Amino acid sequence: MTRRVVTVELDDTLSTIREIFDNVKFHHLLVVGDHGPLGVISDRDLLKALSPFVGMLNEHPRDLAIFNKKAHQIMSREPVRVDKSTSIEAAAKLLLSKSVSCLPVTSADGRIEGILTWKDIFKAYLSNKA
């Protein structure tokens, strides 16, 4: 798993989320509340929400207004979670069966411990082969 997790809150704007994705090399943000992760936003979720005219000559004010939308309006809700003791095999099966690209890793009390992606699973598989 990746321990460095960047989170946003329900009311953070798409402008903030875009700025984060523009400055990092990962593809998922966890949306958090008082009791742990409430949702996930991928860079693809953000791209789907944005107008294709942003930054173009025919951009309109309504295209830029999309950046005022909030995280809770585009996030995937109730993310599938795992805990630190979940096996890599079980996590891989969950990623495939639930058609998700990341799994928040949480402790028993809901605290975020990290995030697990298919890349992490590939890395673990390849390190076991070496």
Contacts of 79 (CB under 8 A, 6+ apart): 30, 37, 38, 39, 40, 100, 102, 103, 104
Against a cut of 0.85, is the pTM above it?
yes
pLDDT confidence tier of residue 130, bands split at 50, 70 and 90: low
**Higher-scoring residue by pLDDT: 81, 109:** 81
| Cα dist from 101 to 4, 33, 61, 121, whole Å | 17, 21, 33, 11
SS (H, E, C) 61-97: HHHHHHHHCEHHHCCEECCCCECCCCCHHHHHHHHHH
Amino acid at residue number 86: T
Tell me the average pLDDT of the chain: 90
The rounded distance, in Å, linking the Cα atoms of 65 and 74 is 15
* CATH 2.60.40.10, domain 6-79, yes or no: no
* CATH 3.10.580.10, domain 80-130, yes or no: yes
pLDDT at 93: 96
Fold match, 6-79 / 80-130: yes
Confidence check: pLDDT of 86 > 90? yes
Mean pLDDT of 2-22: 95
Domain boundaries, the chain: 6-79, 80-130
Residue 84 CB neighbour total at 10 angstroms: 12
Residue 39 CB neighbour total at 10 angstroms: 21
